[in-house]
């Protein structure tokens, strides 16, 4: 239980011996056909003048606890090596059209269980919130990608493009950073990274 008593308090919540969220397939107790461990965070707001009077209750679902660390040669999740094995797609289908669709979402995750995939890149834009909720639930690691596709020299020297790209990255990270499934960010899809101007552009972006 964590207690704060003013409007600008900052505190650290410590969970002793937590059940860790992990991508599917990392051990035999969590194959890709079973759900990952998630908590529901409950926040209760009390009346300071009357502590027994509850003003509001907030419940935040799909809270996962996990760690990420990089070494020279390994990507570690919960201090164990993790290998990204998966694919990418678009939020569309040949029959139902473009955009988010719950039926197609369920189909994709069922296919992933069949393929024993454990990772997904959101090509070429951040997906709907429902997608991340499913990834949290079923243990699919996400590489979140910005809608920057095929950047070329003209864009690398454009301050307007860089400013907008920074805004998009900030918005994406701000929205999705608390999903346990999001393990990595992709700044762009297939840019001309060999261009001499690309290094300065992406250094400023990162």
Which residues participate in catalysis according to the annotation?
190
CB 18 within 8 A of CB 67: no
Q: Which two tokens stand for residue 69?
A: 């660390």
- Quick one: DSSP state of residue 113? H
Tokens of residue 146, six digits: 């910005």
Please answer whether residues 48 and 74 qualify as being in contact, where contact means their C-beta atoms are separated by less than 8 angstroms.
Answer: no
Identify whether the C-beta of residue 150 lies closer than 8 Å to the C-beta of residue 189. yes
**Among 204, 206, 179, residue whose Cα is nearest residue 36:** 179
């Amino acid at each position: 239980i964590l207690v704060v008593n003013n409007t600008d308090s900052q505190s650290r919540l410590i969970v002793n011996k937590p059940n860790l969220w992990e991508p599917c397939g990392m051990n035999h107790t969590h194959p890709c056909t079973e759900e990952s461990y998630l908590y529901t965070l409950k926040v209760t707001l009390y009346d300071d003048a009357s502590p027994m009077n509850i003003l509001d209750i907030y419940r935040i679902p799909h809270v996962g606890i996990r760690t990420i660390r990089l070494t020279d040669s390994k990507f570690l999740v919960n201090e164990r090596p993790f290998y990204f094995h998966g694919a990418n797609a678009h939020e569309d289908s040949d029959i139902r059209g473009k955009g988010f669709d719950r039926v197609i979402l369920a189909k994709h995750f069922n296919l992933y269980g069949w393929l024993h995939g454990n990772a997904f890149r959101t090509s070429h834009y951040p997906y709907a919130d429902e997608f991340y909720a499913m990834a949290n639930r079923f243990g699919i690691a996400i590489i979140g990608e910005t809608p920057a596709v095929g950047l070329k020299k003209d864009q690398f020297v454009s301050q307007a493009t860089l400013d907008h790209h920074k805004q998009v990255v900030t918005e994406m990270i701000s929205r999705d950073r608390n999903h346990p499934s999001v393990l990595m960010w992709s700044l762009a899809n297939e840019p001309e990274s060999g261009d001499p101007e690309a290094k300065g552009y992406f250094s400023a972006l990162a």
